[in-house]
């Protein structure tokens, strides 16, 4: 007769592990049932000081605006917040929320510093032969390396802009979509746009 053996790993929610803060035995595995992350003990280090062995779920978030709006321009060539509010996709997020300082932004709400791959796009126009630009901004400071530019043309010809960059965000940091009219102070007629961020693992 064949004998089968079943075993269960030591487990609990993230809050339960944090509260108990046990010292796992050398090679003992502890699983967080709500985050799907786990740690492996070394026999001496308490749970809260152990590193996660493999992250089970990556932090992520995305937000978009699919209705038109106006971005008033204060100075030609100056990047600024769009002043618009994106809709956060709460059905796919993990450890992120919509920005609070800027409402067209993703905010790290993980409790830890993480590296994110961030992408943003905008469809817009500002009249014939206007150069428009977008870039990412961390906590209100533009990230020059992420800048992208495109022309808008006559009769409402739309400029389609896309940018991306890897951005390190501490807990509570935000990354936002900034826009500029490079040519003059004509307002930008926003058509649609989006921003997304997903954690990058080493």
pLDDT in tens, 3-35: 888 888 999 999 999 999 999 999 999 999 988
Same domain assignment for residues 114 and 158: yes
CA 33 vs CA 7, 105, 114, 179: distances in Å: 16, 30, 21, 42
Same domain assignment for residues 72 and 40: no
Same domain assignment for residues 108 and 18: no
Alpha-carbon gap, residue 138 to 195, rounded angstroms = 13
As a whole number, the mean pLDDT across the chain is: 94
Residue 4 lies in a domain: no
Same domain assignment for residues 44 and 112: no
End-to-end CA distance of the chain: 47
Same domain assignment for residues 66 and 152: yes
Residue 55 lies in a domain: no
Residue 5 lies in a domain: no
Same domain assignment for residues 79 and 178: yes
The per-residue pLDDT for range 155-179, each reduced to its tens digit, is: 778 999 999 999 999 999 999 999 9
Query: Can you tell me whether residue 146 is helix, strand or coil?
Result: helix
H or E element at residue 19: helix 14-20
State the average pLDDT over residues 181-194: 97
What pLDDT does 130 receive?
Answer: 94
Same domain assignment for residues 28 and 101: no
**Structural domain range at position 113:** 60-199
Among 106-115, 135-144, 152-161, the least confident range: 152-161
Alpha-carbon gap, residue 82 to 17, rounded angstroms = 42
Number of domains in the chain: 2
What pLDDT does 35 receive?
Answer: 81
Residue 66 lies in a domain: yes
Same domain assignment for residues 88 and 32: no
Same domain assignment for residues 39 and 100: no
DSSP code of 91? Answer: T
What's this model's pTM, rounded to 2 decimal places?
Answer: 0.76
| Residue 14 in tokens | 């993230």
DSSP code of 72? Answer: -
Same domain assignment for residues 37 and 65: no
| 137 phi/psi in degrees, rounded to 5 | -135, 130
Residue 81 lies in a domain: yes
Residue 162 lies in a domain: yes
Query: Can you tell me whether residue 49 is helix, strand or coil?
Result: helix
Same domain assignment for residues 111 and 194: yes
CATH no. for residue 99?
A: 2.60.120.40
Same domain assignment for residues 93 and 15: no
Residue 108 lies in a domain: yes
Residue 114 lies in a domain: yes
Helix%, strand%, coil% for the chain, nearest 5: 5, 45, 50
């Amino acid at each position: 007769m064949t004998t089968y053996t079943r075993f269960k790993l030591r487990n609990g929610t993230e809050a339960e592990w944090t509260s108990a803060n046990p010292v796992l035995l050398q090679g003992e595995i502890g699983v967080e049932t709500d985050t799907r992350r786990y740690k492996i003990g070394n026999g001496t280090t308490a749970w809260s000081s152990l590193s996660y062995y493999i992250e089970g779920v990556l932090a992520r978030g995305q937000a978009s605006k699919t209705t038109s709006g106006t971005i008033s321009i204060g100075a030609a060539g100056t990047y600024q917040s769009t002043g618009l509010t994106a809709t956060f996709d709460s059905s796919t997020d993990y450890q992120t929320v919509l920005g609070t300082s800027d409402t067209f932004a993703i905010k790290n709400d993980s409790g830890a510093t993480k590296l994110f791959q961030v992408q943003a796009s905008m469809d817009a126009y500002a009249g014939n032969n206007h150069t428009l630009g977008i870039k990412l901004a961390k906590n209100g400071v533009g990230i020059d390396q992420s800048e992208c530019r495109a022309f808008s043309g006559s009769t409402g010809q739309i400029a389609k802009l896309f940018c991306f960059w890897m951005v390190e965000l501490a807990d509570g940091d935000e990354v936002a979509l900034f826009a500029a009219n490079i040519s003059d102070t004509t307002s930008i007629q926003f058509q649609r746009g989006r921003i997304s961020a997903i954690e990058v693992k080493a």
